[in-house]
Structure 1
Amino acid sequence: MVVVFVLVALMVLGLLGGVHWYLWRRLVRDTTAPGGWGRRVGTAAAVVLPLTTVGALVGGRSGAPFAVEQALAWPGYLWLAVLLYLTLAVLVGEAVRPLLGRWLAARDAGRAAAAPSAPAPASAPVAVLAADGGGVAGDTAASKDARPIDEAGSEQPVGGDGTAAAPTAPTRRLFVARSVALAASAAALGTVGYGAYDVLNGPALKRIRVPLAKLPRGADGYRIAVVSDIHLGPILGRAHTQRIVDTINRAQPDLVAIVGDLVDGSVADLGPAAEPLSRLRARHGSYFVTGNHEYFSGAAEWVDHVRELGVHPLENARVELPGFDLAGVNDLAGEDQEPAQGPDYERALGDRDPARASVLLAHQPVVIHDAVRYGVDLQLSGHTHGGQLWPGNYVAELANPTVAGLERYGDTQLYVTRGAGAWGPPVRVGAESDITIVTLASKQA
């Protein structure tokens, strides 16, 4: 197991190093003069930034002080998002680069062909110059001093009339390299800035209506606020929790369901950040099930802590509510704990009345097949973040039956929220953060 971990770690570090070397070539070496300040600053950034990313990734798992985690998280995780979109933008630039170069070459050739030819200088004035002692050599030196200098510090060739001739191929290459680098950087920074605003501004409120065949008429219109993947940690803290609580309370739901990945850290570090959860308001209370990240953060302590905050943990348990049963199972990551704390469907669902409608809280969508087997009517999940960073949604589709939204599996429906926070970079692109009000509808109404 240790050998596999080391090999994977080396592969990741090798990939990270290779991507940074490629970006350094395109964004620093190809656009700056050797020995110049731009080359030095760019090279230093290409070394320091990936180190902050590695520090952010391993800081929490290595037991580093929380203040150190916070100091590394902002630059390290934001750079990870910039790295993704900067790499994609530069790769797109590889296709644009030759086209732009050919266009510039054709434009310059056309200008050179259209320029009028300068008349040859008369010989007499040259002789006079020589006789006066100015010398041809002195005039040549003056002409050389007057030659235009390009942006790289090199002399440009001049035409017979003393004006600059068409730029040379090296000058065009420099212009193309700088243009592509500037455009790629602007695209990456703009994308990450917009995605960070989505997360830091708080999740949007979505609404969806889900009909359940067994739901009695009296429970028609019952509203569940579903929130997942809050991910309190070194970046998202108490203010983030308060925004979520305020959004939920304004919606006035009948019940709040927190379906895992509440935290990325210990109760000691993040207890104050979670405190606003105590102010959640719903007619039938708030419920919580663990996600995989709780088992990286001390799941037992967090279960006890959310209970102290007035949120009811459902550890492979069930409660009977007016009109339906609400069940919750532990996350699959609990199976790796000692003793095992994974999902137990028999304990949560085995002895219930199958004539009653049932709603299951389970962090990962992949357990939908167990829900179908136990006759669950609706499963509420998170975990996927909707992919979080495009094109991550295509990767998420490989590991999850549903990445976001409502789908049916046999007689069981599965709703997956994109989550209210973000893991790693506090950035979302193509996967807006959300809290969903799921309104249960009775077919008898």
Structure 2
Amino acid sequence: MFRLSFAFAAIAVLSLINFYSYKRFLKRLDLFFKIQDVIKWAMIVITLCEICYFLVLRLDNLDPILYTLFSAMIGVSFMLFCVALLYDLFHIPYAKIPHDYSRRLFIKMVFDVTMLILALSYITKGFLNGMKAPRIKEVDIFIDGLESELSIVQITDVHIGKTLGKSFMDDVVKQVNALDADMVVITGDLIDMPVNQIGDKLDSLRAIQSRLGVYYVPGNHEYFYGVHKIMEHVHTLGVHVLSNRSMVINHTINLAGVMDMSGKRFDFEPPDLKRALLHVKPELPTILLSHQPKIVKEMSGEKIDLILSGHTHGGQIFPFGLLVLLDQPYLSGLYQHSKHTQVFVSNGAGFWGPAVRIMAPSEIVKINLKVKKA
């Protein structure tokens, strides 16, 4: 029921923003006056592609090429909508220009050309960024009570599925190994497909080089495809699955992990902080893996020094991050949540939906835990 509701809501929203983009931007461009019918039908085709995408999203029977094409249309729609809003906004001062026909005509022509170039640049840059390999981001985080330095590589939101496959996962693992980390953590949304379709796409996880092991918690997307079977499969690849439990790592830190917040919505395997922290050693610093940063809303005085999260994609397409912040307390980077708890949110290595990123580059993060001096 949730999936169906989400699909219909997404279709309704995309249909409305496509209508707005056409009526308030594309139709008002004098440059397109002679091809208005073509533009109108192009927007209708884009909307139909998006309808197909969301109706078959969870049926897993859409050809990968069509899946990539249809999902790309979502990115185009959103970016056109943003430009259309700007177009409307800048029309306010334009409407106040004195009524000299030739002057207004010239200014409108310059304005239209400028906005069209902006739209094309915005869309082109977004797709070019989306196709780039994840960058390496390095962050130093000082932890109270840490006895010796520790390096952690965090990968999250890889979204292996119809668009990103085995070769992408293999490349991510190569980048991770080059960082020579003490430990590797995977904070959810690793895959976007059922276990019976994974095949060898995740096999390179076996090749991760990490002195203290590889650790994983599921994200919301794993719940769409059978979270238990996915966790079992990941475990067979030599990865420790922290499903509401913890481990002591090298007598240095407690590493705990919780199930995803979407477990509450599905009424199945919700996050359980108390259970996850039940066996931690209070004298050691505690690192918590949680796919969604809003796990902080579940906290009630627990001693957690650092939370590592993903989920937000850093907004993926600016300014979509402003909407993400309506649901999540943190978007991207390091935050001081409370006196004793820091939160780090990664943009993620992959993408969901359109292969588009604007002002939120994909990343693999090397976190250097440092001893905090008194």
1:356 and 1:33 map into 2 onto residues whose CA distance is 65
Aligned to 1:41: 38
AA aligned opposite 2:121: G
Larger radius of gyration: 1
SS in 2 for 1:272: coil
Q: Does the CA contact (< 8 Å) of 2:7 and 2:54 recur in 1?
A: no
- Give 1:54's match in structure 2, choosing from 51, 56, 61: 51
Measured in 2, the distance between the counterparts of 1:306 and 1:383 equals 19
C-alpha displacement at 1:225, in angstroms? Answer: 0.3
Q: List structure 1 segments (4+ residues) > 6 angstroms apart after TM superposition.
A: 98-105
Counterpart residue number, 1:149: none
Aligned match of 2:285: 357
Partner residue in 2 for 1:404 = 332
Paired with 2:114 and 2:198, the residues of 1 have a C-alpha distance of 40
Deviations 1:394-419 (A, max 9, x none): 22222222212222223122111111
Counterpart among 13, 20, 23 of residue 21 in structure 2: 23
State the match for 2:83 in structure 1: 89
Verify the 8 A CA contact 1:213 1:443 in the aligned structure 2: yes
Q: Spell out, residue by residue over 1:52-72, the C-alpha distance to the aligned partner (whole angstroms, 9 max, x if none).
A: 1122223222x14142xx233
- Larger proportion of helix: 1
Distance 1:181-1:245 versus aligned 2 partners, 3 A rule: farther
Q: Which has the higher contact order (CA 8 A, sep 6+)?
A: 2
Deviation at 1:306, TM superposition (A): 1.2
Contact 1:327 1:359 in 2 (8 A): yes
> Aligned equivalents of 2:39 and 2:90: distance in 1?
23
SS across alignment from 1:415: strand
Q: Could you tell me which of 118, 121, 126 is aligned with 1:190?
A: 121
1:206 matches 2:202 = no
Q: Which deviates the most, 292-301 or 81-90?
A: 81-90
In structure 2, how many angstroms separate the alpha carbons of the residues matched to 1:316 and 1:5? 29
2: distance between equivalents of 1:103 and 1:337? 55
2-side partners of 1:252 and 1:443: how far apart?
23
SS at 2:202's partner residue? helix
Answer whether contact 1:226 1:256 (CA < 8 A) is retained: yes
CA contact (8 A) 2:11 2:54 kept: no
Q: Is contact 1:288–1:312 with CA below 8 Å preserved after alignment?
A: yes
Quick one: structure 1 residues 89 and 17, their matched pair in 2 at CA, closer, same or farther if it must change by over 3 Å?
same
Give the structure 2 partner of residue 227 of structure 1: 155
1:281-336 superposed Cα distances (whole Å, 9 cap, x missing partner)? 11111111011111012211211111122222111121111211111111122234
Q: Is the 8 A contact 1:387 1:403 kept in 2?
A: yes
CA contact (8 A) 2:126 2:358 kept: yes
Alignment partner for residue 386 of structure 1, among 314, 337, 352? 314
SS of equivalent residue, structure 1 residue 195: helix
CA contact 1:263–1:294 (8 Å) conserved in 2: yes
Pick one of 59, 62, 69 that aligns with 1:75: 69
Partners of 1:60 and 1:198 in 2: CA distance = 24
The alignment's TM-score, normalised by the length of structure 1, stands at: 0.74
Q: Distance in 2 between matches of 1:427 and 1:269?
A: 25
The within-5 A match list for 1:23-422 is 23-25=21-23, 26-28=25-27, 31=30, 38-61=35-58, 63-67=59-63, 70-94=64-88, 96=90, 106=100, 108=102, 172=105, 176=108, 182-216=113-147, 220-322=148-250, 323-337=252-266, 340-371=268-299, 373-408=301-336, 409-422=338-351
1:90–1:181 CA contact under 8 A, matched in 2: no
Residues 348-388 of structure 1, C-alpha deviation per residue, up to 9 Å, x if partnerless? Answer: 21232211121111111111254562212211111111111
Distance 1:11 1:221 in 2: 47
Aligned-partner Cα distance in 2 for 1:202–1:414: 25
Confirm or deny: 8 A CA contact 2:143 2:372 kept in the other structure. yes
Q: CA RMSD in A?
A: 3.1
Q: Is the 8 A contact 2:10 2:54 kept in 1?
A: no
Alpha-carbon contact 1:223-1:438 (below 8 Å) kept:
yes
Question: CA contact under 8 A between 1:256 and 1:285: conserved in structure 2?
Answer: yes
Identity %: 29
Q: Could you tell me which runs of 5 or more consecutive residues in structure 1 were left unpaired when the two chains were aligned.
A: 110-168
Residue 106 (structure 1) shift: 5.0
Q: Number of residue pairs matched?
A: 371
